[in-house]
Structure 1
């Protein structure tokens, strides 16, 4: 017997406000694991982010998890940056999800998603996932705000946010991320100057620094004798184009294997009414074949 095509009930649209509805509603949005975090913790984290543009979240991973991540990603470190922004002595790994599962917990950690849930519209997206290993002798990275890739004038709310996870300890001399507190509120014409405070995100392994896409920051110079291994996960509003085209770079077997949160953030979700559709339907239908 041939299989009958799936059909959804016909929706009556009488006003433009009706287009806020999810017209591909067969696959309902799931509750974010960020909802499991104590509200007082989220309040404190979010207050710091609003005030400073960033917050350091310490000891989110166990030493065993950190060791497992380091063991899995070290063999992947075979290429250095293509320019001075990426770093001539900095190794980077792209398309991480297709190469290892060990970074999944960093992407969908509840403490991180709890902040993103407050900042962005539902079904926000993963914009980029990279392994970054800053080797000895690397110079400081050009300071920048991550969501400057979107040509929307400042000052404005952030369109993205990022985490940088310390797999090695971040110290004052090994290339730890440098942040400029309060710079998330700067207008389009302001640039970092000698008068601006610059802080180093010193933190133990298994911690992360979470910052807004409007915050000026950069990788620090590595004056030590050892490399500084980290992983960055970046996120954006659901109506924006991510930096990495995950629907192309991540195969369907991988998409089926990741958590529901990551699957949603890879683009297997709908921003109402129909942004993200495939052939007029919800993209999760592709995973049934």
Structure 2
């Protein structure tokens, strides 16, 4: 972080100073975010990160398969019909997922885009197995946020309502590998809800399949139309998705974190999970006095 400041001629010592004085994103990235509605962050996960995360994701996947085999029909048809892992609230599974909550390569981007009054709303692991016979999009284009938020769009001068970061654990360097698929600039337009899930959706022609390396991540707001291409490769696509929004929202995949999870978290991670003190009217609208300090502190928040 300090190197960024030196290169731009600004003396900064903390993440808070960097974000306030110069920001993490380049002018080119800010332009792309406003115009196209997404950013690709290259190489945010190391090879060691990828291996460790993949190992845990595979373990969760195998546990689910074992459960299907033990509880399903004896012919194994449930496993055969298994469409791939879609596990929510993964931070309860392992510390390695907790660490990704405020990863030093991506969390500063969250703070710059959303500001410090944020929470982690969702953590998800997804596996899309090969399916060479599938035609069209494996997951139809859609915005996020349910019936209400699908009709809400904010202009470029506003903070986003919500952003997601999708981390890629497998390389998707060519199309039709289950690629994350987006319509650039669609976050500025009403979504044609009547065509949701329609394979003949005319907007599919505008869709772009993002080609990325393992370890890359993509950041996008709730209003961007997105989906997934078919996976016609010979290996499964594995990704993680972390969702952040303002802490006046309800979390998506948990009501409240477990005490065991909170015990394993740093002060900032606890704050991201809604640990803001004893509830009182307005708690989730008016943040604790140290919110900015807690959110923008890196070393001082590690215990």
Give the Cα separation in 2 of the matches to 1:212 and 1:241.
17
Deviations 1:53-86 (A, max 9, x none): 0011010111111111111221101448xxxxxx
Deviations 1:200-254 (A, max 9, x none): 121111111111111000122111111011101011122111211251xx32121
User: How far apart are residue 117 of structure 1 and its match?
Assistant: 2.0
Give the Cα separation in 1 of the matches to 2:241 and 2:23.
25
Moved more, 50-59 or 166-175: 166-175
User: How far apart are residue 143 of structure 1 and its match?
Assistant: 1.1
Task: Report the 3-state secondary structure (helix = DSSP H, G, I; strand = E; otherwise coil) of the residue aligned with 1:262.
Answer: helix
Residue 70 in 1 paired to residue 54 in 2? yes
Give the Cα separation in 1 of the matches to 2:98 and 2:109.
17
Normalization by structure 1: what TM-score?
Answer: 0.72
Cα gap change, 1:44 to 1:88, in 2 (>3 Å): farther
* Unaligned ranges ≥5, structure 2: 1-13, 66-80, 196-200, 291-303
Residue 241 in 1 paired to residue 243 in 2? no
Give the Cα separation in 2 of the matches to 1:209 and 1:121.
18
In structure 2, the residue matched to 1:94 is 88
User: Once superposed, which parts of structure 1, at least 4 consecutive aligned residues long, lie more than 6 Å away?
Assistant: 30-34, 270-273
Moved more, 237-246 or 111-120: 111-120
Give the Cα separation in 1 of the matches to 2:280 and 2:36.
32
Normalization by structure 2: what TM-score?
Answer: 0.69
User: How far apart are residue 115 of structure 1 and its match?
Assistant: 2.8
Task: Report the 3-state secondary structure (helix = DSSP H, G, I; strand = E; otherwise coil) of the residue aligned with 1:264.
Answer: helix
Contact map agreement 1:154 1:188 (CA 8 A) in 2 = no
Cα gap change, 1:261 to 1:44, in 2 (>3 Å): farther
**Counterparts in 2 of 1:267-286, with a 5 A limit?**
267-269=274-276, 274-276=282-284
**Counterparts in 2 of 1:191-270, with a 5 A limit?**
193-194=202-203, 196-247=205-256, 250-269=257-276
Give the Cα separation in 2 of the matches to 1:73 and 1:203.
19
Contact map agreement 2:24 2:112 (CA 8 A) in 1 = no
Cα gap change, 1:37 to 1:181, in 2 (>3 Å): farther
Contact map agreement 1:130 1:232 (CA 8 A) in 2 = yes
1:133 pairs with one of 121, 127, 132: 127
- Judging by fraction of residues, say which structure has more helix: 2
In structure 2, the residue matched to 1:161 is 163
Cα gap change, 1:225 to 1:32, in 2 (>3 Å): farther
Measured on the aligned residues, the alpha-carbon RMSD in Å equals: 3.4
Cα gap change, 1:73 to 1:88, in 2 (>3 Å): closer
2:36 pairs with one of 33, 45, 52: 52
* Unaligned ranges ≥5, structure 1: 1-29, 81-86, 283-289
Aligned residues: 243
